[in-house]
């Protein structure tokens, strides 16, 4: 019996290694800031917005056209009695105007900017490490360049992270 206590049980060793691994993970979790990202498709590519800026995803909403608006503002939507504007991202990402009659709309709210943003489809909503977000490539070309604040990998796909504040500043007159 005495010898049994003198030597550490295998189960204790295993348990200790598991706890050690958990403590290491907790340390990583504390040290590495996570951020929520909403990934969506537009113009055939993957883009993302910070989740904190997206208040709601609205499916199949009817857009009411308003005369005299620029091409990137397709009109109004009624969100449970609140009338909201809609921005067509295609205009800023270099694609043709969106044609879906009942498209997917992400409600973007940041500071005093508040608008629905037309996207082709929502791909995923996930938490990623801030360190996974890389600065945008200096060689990035196209209309999206002025809206980009970073890039990261989602599986084998690159995701271009868009800054809603930059989008807002391009739209305001």
5 part of the interface to another protein, by CB under 8 A: no
Provide the terminal-to-terminal Cα distance of the chain, rounded to the nearest Å.
84
169 part of the interface to another protein, by CB under 8 A: no
170 part of the interface to another protein, by CB under 8 A: no
**Six token digits for residue 170:** 């391009």
97 part of the interface to another protein, by CB under 8 A: no
66 part of the interface to another protein, by CB under 8 A: yes
Nearer to another protein, 70 or 142 (CB): 70
Residues 123-152 interacting with another protein (rule: CB under 8 A): none
42, 115, 160, 164: residue in contact with another protein (rule CB under 8 A): 115
Nearer to another protein, 5 or 80 (CB): 80
Residues 71-90 interacting with another protein (rule: CB under 8 A): 73, 76, 78, 81-85, 87
Integer Cα distance of 38 and 58 in angstroms:
13
Q: Give all strands of the β-sheet with 54-58 in edge-to-edge order.
A: 54-58, 104-110, 113-119, 82-88, 75-79
Question: 12 — phi, psi (to 5°)?
Answer: -65, -40
Of 3-11, 63-71, 124-132, 150-158, which part binds another protein (CB under 8 A)? Answer: 63-71
**Six token digits for residue 16:** 């200790």
- Is the dihedral angle over the CA atoms 87, 93, 95, 101 positive or is it negative? negative
Question: 80 — phi, psi (to 5°)?
Answer: 50, 45
Instruction: Catalog residues that contact another protein under the rule CB under 8 A.
Output: 64-70, 73, 76, 78, 81-85, 87, 112-115, 171-173
């Amino acid at each position: 019996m005495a010898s049994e206590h003198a030597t550490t049980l295998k189960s204790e060793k295993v348990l200790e290694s598991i706890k050690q691994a958990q403590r290491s993970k907790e340390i990583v979790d504390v040290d590495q800031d996570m951020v929520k990202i909403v990934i969506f498709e537009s113009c055939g590519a993957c883009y993302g917005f910070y989740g904190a800026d997206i208040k709601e995803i609205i499916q199949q909403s009817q857009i009411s056209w308003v005369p005299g608006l620029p091409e990137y503002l397709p009109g109004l939507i009624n969100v449970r009695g609140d009338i909201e504007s809609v921005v067509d991202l295609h205009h800023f990402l270099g694609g043709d105007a969106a044609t879906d009659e009942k498209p997917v709309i992400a409600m973007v709210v940041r500071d005093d900017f508040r608008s629905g943003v037309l996207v082709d489809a929502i791909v995923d909503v996930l938490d990623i490490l801030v360190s996974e977000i890389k600065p945008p490539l200096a060689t990035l070309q196209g209309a999206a360049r002025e809206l980009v604040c970073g890039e990261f990998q989602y599986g084998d796909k690159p995701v271009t992270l868009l800054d809603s504040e930059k989008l807002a500043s391009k739209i305001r007159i």
